[in-house]
Structure 1
């Protein structure tokens, strides 16, 4: 269950729409694409589309927000070619208390109506709302994409640093995500001047490191 409650109201924590160019880098691939946060009344979507001569990838998270809590609807992943291939659709059916995954990792898991479980994309909206409300540490449950269920992660502000997008300087909160009994650490760089938009995300574990970095803001607000 969610262990921290947001203290601000939704208006104060409203997150602006944006469209931006991000670069994703891993040992297998380096690719640049467009990341968007869109909203239509209480329907929201975070989406990343990227392609080059070797590969294409699409990530999409659709959700609502109710009483300052993200309510997931669907999480969709499509990655090609074969050496990276991944195709998975997760549907959250809160009324029936089910989360169902189809594609590469098929599974079904139950959830309590009181459970607050987030996917890897929409959890970023919760992070931004929490940081914007003044919290420096909190706990969130993130969906286990491989096996179903969820895992509890601890988030903690570690520092405040200057960070740059090209020649533009921002004041960034450095947020670290960790979990007991694992060596995986995810570090988020959130720019205060951009309502804590993500400048960079570094996902590090002993066997690999993935980085997503902002290259250019195309629209904001």
Structure 2
């Protein structure tokens, strides 16, 4: 193993085992896309039985439900399940993903059905639990890192690059907060996700902007219902 590969290997070891304490919370967010604008509650809770992040929202046009269940063992996020249920008039989508750590296998049922395997030692996250990892690594002042996210459509995973861009003042709840801005990109892709993380709120996401050449989706924090 050459020195460059050794450095990469040690970096991934570091990432896998440094997930720190992230406080539980419940907060109201607004999701906006070209098709819909909807407000709902996103929450994170963790106890001896496991951890869960979920987002629930509904209006006259749509019902959205996202849930990620996982464990945090020795500082490492261990995915278990990821579920999506979307019932607007313009799109019906249900998908359930199961992470089998024993078989090193990920399976999907519902709108997209597939089974894929991965090499033991590869850490693969879902779109929700990866945010716990991001917050923890930002809290530890990492300026750049790579993470693997499950490919929801066909299985396997995609590797994403996360980089610190700048600090910026963010207004929330009549307060001015110090936000750290990170961007997520992928090689050979025009898609970019920008994260605004508030230092004073244990690096909660104040705003997430997901954009490519055709569309832009935004998730914006509106109100904190409980924290810690």
* TM-score (normalizing by structure 2): 0.92
2:106 matches 1:106: no
2:139 matches 1:132: yes
Q: Which moved more, 1:75-84 or 1:210-219?
A: 75-84
Higher fraction of helix: 2
SS in 2 for 1:130: helix
Q: Which runs of 4+ in 1 moved over 6 A?
A: none
Map of 1:16 onto structure 2: 23
Matches of 1:34 and 1:125, distance apart in 2: 17
Matches of 1:75 and 1:160, distance apart in 2: 32
Matches of 2:170 and 2:123, distance apart in 1: 32
* TM-score (normalizing by structure 1): 0.95
The equivalent position to 2:197 in structure 1, one of 163, 174, 190, is 190
- Report the count of equivalent residues: 219
- What does 1:85-100 correspond to in 2, within 5 Å? 85-100=92-107
Matches of 1:7 and 1:73, distance apart in 2: 16
Name stretches of at least 5 consecutive residues in structure 2 with no aligned partner.
1-7
Q: Which moved more, 1:23-32 or 1:109-118?
A: 109-118
Q: Deviations over 1:7-38 (max 9, x none)?
A: 9855xx20000000000000000000000001
Q: Which moved more, 1:100-109 or 1:128-137?
A: 128-137
SS in 2 for 1:33: strand
Alpha-carbon contact 1:23-1:33 (below 8 Å) kept: yes
2:70 matches 1:63: yes
Matches of 2:151 and 2:15, distance apart in 1: 24
- Structure 1 residue 159: Cα displacement: 0.4
| Structure 1 vs Structure 2 CA RMSD | 1.6
- Structure 1 residue 42: Cα displacement: 5.2
Matches of 2:78 and 2:117, distance apart in 1: 15
Matches of 1:184 and 1:173, distance apart in 2: 20
- Structure 1 residue 85: Cα displacement: 1.5
Q: Deviations over 1:30-72 (max 9, x none)?
A: 0000000011225000000000011110000000112322110
